[in-house]
Structure 1
């Protein structure tokens, strides 16, 4: 009995979920705090403007801030992400997890100091650079996915990775629900955002301590086949003409990897573009949401993690991976098309409900990719995918923000129609 309980503790120490939960809750707190701190900062800056011009001036100022902030946040990991993941593959799997968490801790502390000491908002560009240079989300998520893949068999991998996404989503849901109340609730006694950012810092500190002293690297699952065999397995999910093309298993594998990368990049382009302008869309008329409503809206987005998990749980028993990815793409594309015509709050929630399987594609693509590479290369492949997604995301974020600014008075939902079209294009490489 003592031996079995020791084995249980050893297995529990390989769980990456506490890091995913803590960091995502911290991120949800921070995202809400940053948006509202930036909004309040530009409200005070534009206080002399006439009331009818105030909203447009504020929207453009917030949008411009996020263009630069997202550029710095997205491009700075390019310097360090690949190197950290290679160190993770060669030296220790915890390197690409602990380094980014240290960066998160430092950058979020800068936001707290900005609130307390009244620093200019431009300080957050430095915080974003520090966050990125220590690996950022790019390296952290690649490290998490590598650990998740390492301890799971091929047949269970899609489910294992979507469980990690589910934990990520549930934590974000709880964090978003609480964030609006924490921001507003303590604003009488403390400067607005102080409590929220402090909670975010505490969560990141827990994650760093857990990763350093508790987390252990799982032993590779028994069935980790080499490339030729895995190419054969996943080749069975492709149409008949692809299989009969006479290519060798390795070249077939390379073709599949290329197509999966293309699909992931196109899909991420559609999602990131839409999600970047969504907070701005919610702040202006006709919705004009406050802090609590934004928290609820973010929470509705996180419910999709639960529905996507249930989708994979059921679909993986009956459908091929490629079919599950297509269902997810169609779900997102239909939902974002509805979002383009949102004029009332209830319609926003209908659009979110239609997106119920929108998070199936990326973890399933990662699962398919892992079946084409050896276990020792997981970190490298996942960080290359993540870097591709982040680079695309940075460009998309800038382009979409500029498009949003130029279509603001003409048709504020235009960016969502654009995402619908890109979502449809994702089906081509699949």
Structure 2
């Protein structure tokens, strides 16, 4: 649905670009609103991370989520660079042609999704064939899905997992807070170092390339080579973001700014680690719901962070209209908050495993079949599963399917 919404958006932008007499407001009604109803980016990212978690084992999930995050991070700078070249050199500054290409790529993505990806990653998921044409839209707009998502957040969980889940959602919001710093970074370098657009573009290319290379090398080394915990890797990423901003804040030359960008390249490892931890803290049946909540935290933050960075930037400008270095202090504060929140999980968890032991679909059905259909008995069955999971964790057992008799 998310890809379909993005396709609708791109196609309608092409239509609006061709209709010279249409006012700009038509973009909202014909492109933005229909796309938003499908979930668009929120649905795409939530589904992708839930899918990769469902088809991955506990052992390789962190690495796979990281690779997916690398693709996510590298797509934007690559697309901007390629799009800029095509816009000026190939398409003669035609927005219609640009979005036609975008729509074509989205159509290919939809075809690949239909043909190559699994339609169901668990037996409990309902297929489109089961829903049928008449049942799809009522199911899509069913308010019970919203209730179920929030119930996942508030339902009691043993082993401090409910507060851990809430902490991880808050941590994701605080981590993504720093993305709104980028637009003020350009203004700061313009006044501080007299950089023009070309010089700043070179800096952004270096920064984006360093991000991708660092994630490709650092995460496998830390996770597979050194066998560090996810919390330890997050510590490194959060401090990398904070220390990089100190270089930005005190830099007197462009060289120090590049050093800060190099240190900052370890920062993006925080995102995939948070997602990996979240996937381990809930059973397989709830991963899609918690990833939807994570996607909301990821995409809704700009409503707050944009205002905060704007106010801080304006408050730290001098009389000549220069300065604005206060935005770096705001980023440091949010990343230190990330460190403190993850530190609390690290300390409370100790040497215990964060992961919920996997239960196969067959065993889950046997558990459900041994109980009556009433809600009280179902809740009692869930409690048995969770208590057994904690016992397994306390015994430091290896990941395996737990058999119930």
Q: Could you state the TM-score of these two structures normalised by the residue count of structure 1? A: 0.61
**Any idea what SS the aligned residue of 1:397 has?**
helix
Larger relative contact order (Cα-Cα within 8 Å, sequence gap ≥ 6) = 1
Shift in CA distance, 417/110, structure 1 to aligned 2, threshold 3 Å? farther
Partner of residue 181, structure 2: 274
**Any idea what SS the aligned residue of 1:155 has?**
coil
Aligned partners of 1:215 and 1:382: how far apart in 2?
18
Aligned partners of 2:97 and 2:201: how far apart in 1?
18
Partner of residue 216, structure 2: 309
* Superposed displacement of residue 358, structure 1: 1.3
Aligned partners of 1:335 and 1:117: how far apart in 2?
47
1:140 aligned onto 2:44: yes
CA deviations on 1:209-263 (whole Å, 9 max, x unpaired) are 2223332247569xxxxxxxxxxxxxxxxxxxxxxxxxx9714222322222232
Partner of residue 300, structure 1: 207
Shift in CA distance, 179/340, structure 1 to aligned 2, threshold 3 Å? farther
* Superposed displacement of residue 421, structure 1: 1.9
1:265 aligned onto 2:170: no
CA deviations on 1:274-309 (whole Å, 9 max, x unpaired) are 13544665777832305x964872573254133123
**Any idea what SS the aligned residue of 1:360 has?**
helix
1:108 aligned onto 2:10: yes
Partner of residue 44, structure 1: none
Aligned residues of 1:170 and 1:305 also touching (Cα < 8 A): yes
Shift in CA distance, 193/287, structure 1 to aligned 2, threshold 3 Å? farther
Count residues in correspondence. Answer: 302
Aligned partners of 2:82 and 2:253: how far apart in 1?
23
Matches for 1:395-414 after TM superposition, within 5 Å: 395-404=304-313, 407=316, 409-414=321-326
CA deviations on 1:296-353 (whole Å, 9 max, x unpaired) are 7257325413312321100013211100011011112222333346676655543321
Partner of residue 203, structure 1: 105
Aligned residues of 2:315 and 2:324 also touching (Cα < 8 A): no
Aligned partners of 1:376 and 1:192: how far apart in 2?
46
Higher Cα radius of gyration: 2
Unaligned 5+ residue runs, structure 2? 124-155, 343-405
**Any idea what SS the aligned residue of 2:323 has?**
coil
2:197 maps to which of 260, 274, 289? 289
Aligned partners of 2:82 and 2:2: how far apart in 1?
25
Aligned residues of 1:165 and 1:305 also touching (Cα < 8 A): no
CA deviations on 1:358-386 (whole Å, 9 max, x unpaired) are 11112111111211211111110111122
2:115 maps to which of 213, 234, 258? 213
Partner of residue 371, structure 1: 280
Aligned residues of 1:176 and 1:296 also touching (Cα < 8 A): no
Partner of residue 95, structure 1: none
Shift in CA distance, 113/401, structure 1 to aligned 2, threshold 3 Å? farther
Unaligned 5+ residue runs, structure 1? 1-98, 222-247
Aligned partners of 1:414 and 1:347: how far apart in 2?
18
RMSD of aligned Cα (Å): 3.2
Partner of residue 167, structure 1: 71
Aligned partners of 1:339 and 1:124: how far apart in 2?
38
